Amino acid sequence: MFPILVYGGPSTGKTSVTLQVFRHLNRPFIYSSCITCYSPRILFESILNQLLFHRKDSGHSYSSLKRCERPSDFVNYLREALENVITNLKGNSGKVSSKMSGRPDGTMVYLVFDNLECVRDWDKSSTILPFLFNLNDILKMPEVGLIFISNTSPDTYYLNIGYAEPIPLYFPDYTEDDLRHIFMANQTNSRLYASFLDVVLRPFCRVTRQVDELAAAFSSLFKKYSEPLSDKEVAPNEEMKRRLFSHIRPHIASALNETFQVRSQPLLKAETNQETKKTNSSRMPGVREDFDKIDFHMSTSAKYLLISAFLASRNPATLDASLFDSTGVSDSHKRKRKASEKSMDQKEMAEQELLMKGPGTFPLERLLAIFQCITSLAEDSLDEEESHELTVEGGSRGLMSDVLLQLSSLCNANFIIKGGSCPLEGSTRYRTAVSEDLALKVARSLKFPLSKYLYRR
């Protein structure tokens, strides 16, 4: 058999169709995904483990049967294991019909490699990719079939080194009609859902046509759609459809601007509370109240650290002295001048530059200096308000090691990126990776006036 490359967009059913075909025809196959097997060694060992029926368990402390790093070792072990398996299969096919005994049909073994596009990002991809594509020729065993599944088209795999091209098999994305069929399947009240789809399918298809994203968005929207109905089983007539449409219309616009995520459970409960509040007050279309809160938990000192990092990246270093003087009052009001024509052009150019360059880098000392200024400010303001639930008090004074730990955890969470070290100074520089929206949200949760400190050109 010649190797086959199955390709198409995400969530078009490639993996599920392949696996279903194998299960239906009852043929033996080995499945390995290049996302879970993220290096050549893990990929090779996983295939060998499956061929030799070895399961990783706590008995052997989760180790594989054979240690295999290089492609040359892999080919030798693979050949041995495949020959064993094939002789077993040939022996079985001679006996009683395999449908009775539950063993697989046929004498061929298939290797399925899923998510092949991840291999392109590996370190050794220039040797591993041609190796995988040429595996058929290297093994020279006609009883082995290779199937590759990929999200990207075959022309993204062209390399300098040639290889025998696999037979391409294309899975196109679903059209709107197909999507309608997919969503209508398994619905309890099909006429209600059909009227729902009439309303939402077309605008959402303009943004994305992927089934997983649409399913996440539709599930929450359908709950809102069927809210005013007391009886969920009824088939709607024209007048009811119109009512439901006007009910859902403001929500569609806001839902279109959301990224299609599946929300975690506590937030859903919070949403229902907010919903009841909303229905009592007058409804304003397009208002997104739930987006003012950040949906993960951070300690207060981590929040202050994040804000200081954002300010350090956003403002040029020369402004620090004036912005953060001892009284903590920002002086930016003093410097406002009337904007002339030339400075407007310069402003535009500078904005363009800012967009292209992205956030600037800053050394550790500057970050800590800003952090200390901000937290001392916060303490003063909190003292003035005489609030009881102080959490900042213990945090900022003297516990620098705590702050450094927070910094490394922010780096791990990709809020702050650690850049290369500057060769002159020899210290590492950091850079913020959060957007202004997130920084504003965090600042709002601490009641910190972030906009006063932001440098506007």
Partner 1 sequence: MGREKEKEKLSEKALNLLRSRLSDPNFIFRPLPDSPDSNYSKLKFIISTSVTEACNNSILLLGPRGSGKVAVLELVLSDLLQQYPEAISVIRLNGLLHSDDNCALKEIARQLCMEHQLLFSKVASFDDNSQFMIAMLRECGLAHKTIIFVLDEFDFFAQGKQRLLYSLLDAMQSVNSQAVVIGVSCRLDVDQLLEKRVRSRFSHRKLLFLSPSKEDTERFIEHILSLPMDSSLPHNYAAEFNGRLKKLLSDERFKELIDTYLSFNFTIGHLVRFLFQAVSYMDLSAGFLSLGNFKTALSSNQRQPKLECIRDCSVLELYMMVCMKRLEVKEQASYNFYSVMTEYKSIHDSFQTSDYYAANVCLRAFEHLLQCQLISFIDNKGHNQSVEFRPVKLLISSAELHQGLKSYQQCPAILLKLMDR
Which parts of this chain interact with partner 1 (CB under 8 A)?
1-2, 8-10, 70-72, 75-76, 117, 127, 130-131, 134, 137-138, 142, 151-156, 162-165, 167-170, 172-173, 175, 205-210, 213, 256-260, 352, 355-359, 414, 417, 419-420, 431, 433, 435
- To the nearest 5 percent, what fractions of the chain are helix, strand and coil? 55, 10, 35
Tell me how far apart the alpha carbons of residues 37 and 375 are, in angstroms, rounded to a whole number: 45
Least distance from partner 1 to the Cβ atom of residue 210, Å: 8
91 or 419: CB nearest partner 1: 419
Its sign, for the CA torsion 395, 399, 403, 405, is negative
Least distance to partner 1, CB of residue 225, Å: 21
DSSP 416: E
- What stretches of 128-196 adopt beta strand conformation (E)? 144-150, 167-171
Residues in CB range of 229: below 8 A, 6 or more apart = 192, 236, 240, 244
Of residues 256 and 382, the one with the C-beta less far from partner 1: 256
Nearer to partner 1, 129 or 192 (CB): 129
Minimum CB separation of residue 235 from partner 1 in Å reads: 30
The distance of closest approach from Cβ of residue 281 to partner 1 in the complex, given in angstroms and rounded to an integer, is 24
| Residue nearer to partner 1 on the CB measure, 137 or 383 | 137
- Which residues 6+ apart lie within 8 Å of 333 measured at CB? none
| Nearer to partner 1 among residue 263 and residue 431 (C-beta) | 431
What is the C-alpha separation between 34 and 152, in angstroms, rounded? 14
Q: What are phi and psi of 173, to 5 degrees?
A: -70, 160
What are the distances in angstroms from CA 255 to CA 168, 242, 367, 436, 444?
37, 20, 37, 21, 23
CA–CA separation, 248 and 4 (whole Å): 46
* Residue 432: CB minimum distance to partner 1, A: 9
Q: Which residue lies nearer to partner 1 by CB, 9 or 104? A: 9
- Tokens representing residue 303 in the block: 């929040």
Please report how close the Cβ of residue 389 comes to partner 1 at its closest, in angstroms.
33
- As measured in angstroms, the least distance from the Cβ of 245 to partner 1 is 18
Mapping DSSP to helix (H, G, I), strand (E, B) and coil, where does residue 318 land? helix
Our CB check for partner 1 shows the closer of 29 and 204 to be 204
Between 258 and 402, CB nearer to partner 1: 258
Write down the least CB distance from residue 90 to partner 1, Å: 15
User: Which of 97, 101, 112, 139 lies closest to 28 in space, CA to CA?
Assistant: 112
Closer residue to partner 1 (CB): 42 or 169: 169
What is the number of other CB atoms lying within 10 angstroms of the CB of residue 224? 16
Rounded to an integer, what distance in angstroms lies between the CA atom of residue 183 and that of residue 180?
5
Task: Please report how close the Cβ of residue 150 comes to partner 1 at its closest, in angstroms.
Answer: 11
Asked if 354 and 340 touch (Cβ cutoff 8 Å), the reply is no
Strands 361-363, 428-432: parallel, antiparallel or unpaired by DSSP?
antiparallel
Q: Which C-beta is closer to partner 1: that of 25 or that of 329?
A: 25
Whichever of 25 and 400 has its CB closer to partner 1, that residue is 25
**DSSP result, 28-59:** -EEEEETTTS-SHHHHHHHHHHHHTT----GG
14 touches 8 (CB < 8 A):
yes
In the complex, least distance from residue 108 CB atom to partner 1, rounded to whole angstroms: 11
Min dist CB 164 to partner 1, Å, is 6
Closest to partner 1 by CB, 57 vs 177, is: 177
Q: How far apart are CA 119 and CA 390, in angstroms?
A: 50
Beta carbon of residue 387, minimum distance to partner 1 (angstroms, whole number): 34
Closest CA to 225 of 214, 209, 211, 236: 236
